[in-house]
Amino acid sequence: MKLSHIGELGLLDYIRTRFISRSKDVLTGIGDDAAVLKPRVQHLLVTTDMMVERVHFDLRFTTPYQLGFKLVSVNVSDIFAMGGTPAYLLLNTAVRKNTDMAFITSFFDGIHDALRLYAIKLIGGDISATQRDMSLCATCIGYGKKVIHRSGAKAGDTVYTTGTLGDSACGLELLKKIKRTSPPHPSLVKGGSTGGARVPRRISEPLIKKHLMPVVRNPNKFVRYATSMIDISDGLLIDLSRLCDESKVGARIFLDRIPLSPQLRKAATETGIAPVQFALSGGEDYELLFTAPGKKKINAFAIGEITESKRVIVDLSGKEKPFSAAGYQHFISQGKGRPLP
């Protein structure tokens, strides 16, 4: 059954029935001109992110479930990056009218499961037709007691990341290389490989999953120590540069301390790009990058330190090389495999 069969009002009914969101804090959810929320005493955090077909995602690679899940994750990530607690989501979807209802329900399955994972509620949105590419937006609202900005880093602070870097970008590269369709091609399911790449499925799939369906980190365990924080969405160097810009400081990063997954180390060689290159400049890790004073006992990877102004990477031989903001930027043709800084 196609979306054109049930129409906008049918889709609205489906969403409204599935995501009933009245509770003691949501006075009005989906179904009025605006959502109505009870006031709270904490600071209000608001963020919005969009995902456009053939720019942010490719329907040959992602399942609709993963797409819905990721749309929620990337928005929640920004609330976490402020040290906040996400609470509500608004959703805008522009889809083609000949879209199959199975696609729509699977997309909303992904939204639903991500909402449940992060314990947030869908309170509103807008649905529209599109002539060609799908376009998705979400707005996430959260609350924070102690808000962590990009601007609080001080010289001497330690720089941390919450997980391995580069996996997502390598996963994307593998998808392009092996042109793995969604669901995976039978030869891959059996552990085989297609195209030019010879990467076993047990290596490639965790990387691909990190790209298509990121699960983002709740900072509640270390938020009391953090002096500054940002999520790594465009790449370690560009996001670290942003944090340094806002904090008016520099940073010294040690190449051998950047956490790389064993899968990345193995798969990267097949792509012709160095693992560390993915980790430094690959986007969409959605790990948190934060700073904290001195040597706290923090369950995260210490990758360097904040300096007065110098921005350098220390390579494996101990030599310092300056770095600048290399990472993904819209509107500019991207060169693959940028030189190491």
Restricted to residues 91-130, the positions that interact with its own copies (CB under 8 A) are 92, 94, 97, 123-130
Restricted to residues 167-186, the positions that interact with its own copies (CB under 8 A) are none
Q: Residue 2 CB, nearest distance to its own copies (Å)?
A: 8
Q: Residue 73 CB, nearest distance to its own copies (Å)?
A: 14
CB 304 within 8 A of CB 315: no
Only segment of 144-152, 180-188, 212-220, 270-278 that touches its own copies (CB under 8 A): 144-152
Mind giving me the DSSP string for 103-134?
HHHHHHHHHHHHHHHTT-EEEEEEEEE-SSS-
Only segment of 34-42, 110-118, 215-223, 255-263 that touches its own copies (CB under 8 A): 34-42
Q: Residue 239 CB, nearest distance to its own copies (Å)?
A: 10
Q: Which is nearer to its own copies, 205 or 285 (CB)?
A: 285
Q: Which of 32, 100, 256, 320 touches its own copies (CB under 8 A)?
A: 32
Mind giving me the DSSP string for 168-222?
HHHHHHHHHHHT--SSPPHHHHTT---TT----HHHHHHHHHHHHS--PPPGGGT
Crossing angle of helices 167-178/262-271, nearest 10°? 40
- 149 sits near its own copies (criterion: CB under 8 A): yes
User: What is the three-class DSSP state of 25?
Assistant: coil
Q: Which is nearer to its own copies, 74 or 175 (CB)?
A: 74
Separation CA 329–CA 38 (nearest Å): 38
Only segment of 90-98, 181-189, 259-267, 305-313 that touches its own copies (CB under 8 A): 90-98
Q: Residue 223 CB, nearest distance to its own copies (Å)?
A: 13
Separation CA 77–CA 223 (nearest Å): 14
- 211 sits near its own copies (criterion: CB under 8 A): no
Type of residue at 34: A
Q: Which is nearer to its own copies, 35 or 203 (CB)?
A: 35
- 336 sits near its own copies (criterion: CB under 8 A): no
The total number of residues shown for the chain amounts to 341
C-alpha dist (Å) from residue 316 to 258, 302, 312, 313: 11, 16, 13, 10
Separation CA 300–CA 223 (nearest Å): 12
The residue among 86, 105, 77, 95 whose CA lies nearest residue 135 is 95
Restricted to residues 43-72, the positions that interact with its own copies (CB under 8 A) are 43-56
- 333 sits near its own copies (criterion: CB under 8 A): yes
Q: Which is nearer to its own copies, 48 or 181 (CB)?
A: 48
Separation CA 121–CA 316 (nearest Å): 46
- 142 sits near its own copies (criterion: CB under 8 A): yes
Q: Which of 21, 64, 70, 78 touches its own copies (CB under 8 A)?
A: 78
Restricted to residues 293-332, the positions that interact with its own copies (CB under 8 A) are 325, 329-332
Q: Residue 12 CB, nearest distance to its own copies (Å)?
A: 9
Q: Residue 35 CB, nearest distance to its own copies (Å)?
A: 5
Restricted to residues 221-280, the positions that interact with its own copies (CB under 8 A) are 229-231, 246
Q: Which of 37, 117, 155, 215 touches its own copies (CB under 8 A)?
A: 37
Q: Residue 306 CB, nearest distance to its own copies (Å)?
A: 18
Type of residue at 4: S
Q: Which of 31, 200, 206, 259 touches its own copies (CB under 8 A)?
A: 31
Q: Which is nearer to its own copies, 309 or 334 (CB)?
A: 334
Cβ–Cβ contacts within 10 Å for residue 196, how many?
A: 10
List CB contacts of 252: < 8 A, sequence separation 6 or more.
Answer: 304, 305, 307, 310, 312, 313, 314, 320
The secondary structure of residue 256, as a DSSP letter, is G
